[in-house]
Each structure stands twice: as C-alpha cells, then as structure tokens.
Structure 1
Amino acid sequence: MAPLPADFEPETKQRGSLPRRAFVTLFAFMMLTLPLLVAINLSNSSQMIAAVRGDQPGGLIEGRVLDHEGQPIGNHTVQLSVTGPSSGVSHEVQTDEYGSFRFEAPPATQASYRLRAGGGSWRWQTRDVGFLRSDGEMIEGGLQADFDLQLGAVLVLKVLGKSGSPMGHAEVRLTGEWTESGLLRFSPRVLDQTRSFSSSPMILDGLPPMQGRVSISLDGGRVVSFDLELPEGQTIKRIQL
C-alpha cells in the first residue's frame, strides 16, 4: 500500500450540535402536524355546535298523538324545543298515519326538552321530558311521550272600521278561566295570552272552552274590551268601531 502524501488532509463534514438538530426536528414535526390539529379542532367545534342544535345522534324521543276517542291523528305537527340555557332551539316533525312521531336527533344531555302538540281545533298540550333522572343518573334508551288531544276552541275576531274596511295592527289579550275534566281536577286554570296581528281577521286557535274577556288595543291608543264565552269549535266575533 502506497504511503499517503505528506500534505494530505482527510475531507470532513461538520455536523450541527445535538440541541440544534433537536430543534430542527421539533420544528419540522410541528409544521407537519399543525394542519391536522387545526382540522381536529374545527371538527370538534362543528360537532359541538351541531349537538346543541340536536343534529348529532344521541337520545330518542318518540310517541303518539291521539284524539279524545283514542284515534290516531295523522299529519299533525309536533314541536320539540330545548328549555334552559339553550332555549329557543326547536324542531318539528309530522305524525304518520298511525299518529306516531320520532325525534332521533336530541343529544342525551342534561338539557330538558319540551314537546308541544295541538293548535287549530285541538287544544294545545305540552310534555316536558329529559334524559337526566332526579338521582342524577342518565336514562338509557328512548323516552316515550304520548298526547291525547282534546277538542278546543277557535276565536276569530273581525275588527271593522267606520267605513266597514278591516282593521289590522292590533294587539289582542285574552284572559279567562276554565276547569279541566277528569279526576281530582276541580281547581280552575287561568289563561292569559297576548298576540299581535297585522291584519284582520285575527285568529286565536288551540284554546280551551272557557269564559273570558278580550281586550283589543288598536293604533292610536284605543282599547275595545268585552266578555265572551268560548264553546268547542269556532266562534266568530264581529266588532264594528
């Protein structure tokens, strides 16, 4: 083997120090994983928002809507709203030909839900349900909430001006008392309902048959009040100013 020249110097590559290499590796790892972390956070945020709206799988609330004779009421709207901190969120479904309805979206959380059915010639009814028991344990499975709607009253107000033309832009307040039929239901219940209308006729539906008083506040501060008795079915009241 020939001897190496006297002026020979081996070629060397200077490597970075260990802390510097660790920093570069960590920076590269963060750049690669940052988009994934952002995507995960956005996904979780969307799921939380959707869960509040009731769009994520969770609990199951179902039931039937029947009339006072036990017959199913088909094609009837049932409303579901959230009570508590998330109040104002609502959903609607239609009953099928058997009077059945299902809400498959509500998350099984500590939120409470209110179901509402009725309107038109049927008296409004509400059912409060929740997945949290009184002992703090969560209810597994679905919740059953049935309605047995009773015939109600519909009040139609036709307010006419001096010229005979319909008047609108009025606020109607209906107050009264009624007693529900049934066992141990002797104390009267009170109704106090106020609604605003922009045109005539003014229709208040889903009411119980009752004796009450109507106050109509018109533009200009004029108030028209009268007593009335509401039987089952539709009552038309014509008011000539």
Structure 2
Amino acid sequence: MSSRIRALGMLETLAQYPNGLAPRELAQLLKIPQAAAERTVQGLVEGGFVFRSPDGAVRLSVKLAALGLAYLGTSGITDLVQPILDDLAKRTGELVRLAVVESDHLTWVAKSQSAQSGLFYVPHTETEVYLAATANGQAWLASLDDAQLRMVVERQGLHRPDLGPNAPRTIDQLLEQIEQTRRLGYACVTEAYEVGTSAMATAIRKRGVGHPVGTISVAGPTIRMTRERMAEIAPWLQASANELGAAAASSPLFSLH
C-alpha cells in the first residue's frame, strides 16, 4: 500500500470516528504496521488534515470539511440541489438523501431532514453507499446488467455484519429485489440496512435519459415508512429525481461517473 493510499484510507477511517482514534487503533483497522501508521499520522498533522488531542487520539481537523464544503459550493449543489431536497423532505416529513455515481460506487453528498416529526432517522456517517442493502444502492444497481451488478457487489462485499433481517445474503436474493425495483421504477427496503428503518430511492438521469448519475432517497422509521406510504411518496420522489436530472446538466458534481 502506497503512502498516499494509506493516508487517504486513514482519513476515510477517521471520518467514522469523530472522537478520534489512537495510532495503534488506526494501524489495526487499516491492517498496517504501527510504525507506518505513526508516519502517516505525522504527515497528515503537518498537512493540517488531522490533529492530536490531549489524550493522544488522532482526530480530523476542520480543513478537510472546509475543502469538501468549498467543492460542493462551487459544484452548484447548494444553489441547484439543496432546494429540491428540502422540498421533498418537507412534503414527506422524512429524511431525504442524495448520492452521486463515482465510477463503480455511490457516494453520499447531501441530505435534508424534515423537522415536522419528533421521531427521526439518523443515518450512519459512511461516505460510500453500501449497495446491496440500501434503497439508493439497489436503485443504482437496477440500472446495471446482471454481470456488472455482480462485479460491483462482489467488489464491495455482500456479507457485512450488523445489517437488518431483510438484507440480501446472496446474489440470488439481491437479484430478486432488483427485479422488483425494475418493475416498480424505484427501490424499497424495509429493515435491510438497519433494524427499524425503511427507505425508498430512485435513479437520477440527466434530463431523464442515459445512465444514472445519482440516486435520491426518502428514509424513515418503519412504523411510518410502510409500503402504502412509499406508494404515496413515489410520484414526489420521481418528480424530484426529474428536477435533479435537469439540474445535473449544469453541475460538475454529476460528472464523476
């Protein structure tokens, strides 16, 4: 593993631990020697991307977040995309999330949480979308042929621990769910990625045609996000995807695939 890849892996790992990790813990998670972890940490400290807290834990600095916000601002997401997400969140009363296609994976880039209800769904902080058990992932996978689908799913892995009881455990189970997505025009998952949560998502295409450039989802507690409620939301979800598809033509954010 090159030093650059090691540094990027360390930043991605630290993004999941806001309270920081000791260099020893980073070495274990990244499966690298502790001496290599110490050298990488020192380089990132000198670059201003991380800092050491008084207890010795390594934490991300605000520099990385500032760079990300600066990029999203210049990409047009704030002006073009956020109002669409906010409108859908207000209509549905749930959490709305946007992911964009980057080569062979999806990356979370924006969200909007309705303030109408006291019961919220708080998603994980991972940057890459887990494809097999999320609505966003299945909405994108449905646009691929079966050979491509198998390739990207095998790359990411299908046997992640701590998933919900309805998460697909085999490729065949996943393909059954993908066929349903293709029939409906949107993906639905119930207690697949997490216990107690459900979500629906659809693909975003530039001006409604071509390969997807992203996905948009609505997620919330299963007690509210029933299949009947998802059917009611579906036209709003698709309308928002069409709006985002129109906005995609003028934003470099949707040119990453």
Give TM class, smaller chain: under 0.3
Greater Rg over alpha carbons, structure: 1
Report the structure, 1 or 2, having the larger strand content: 1
* TM-score (ref. length: structure 1): 0.23
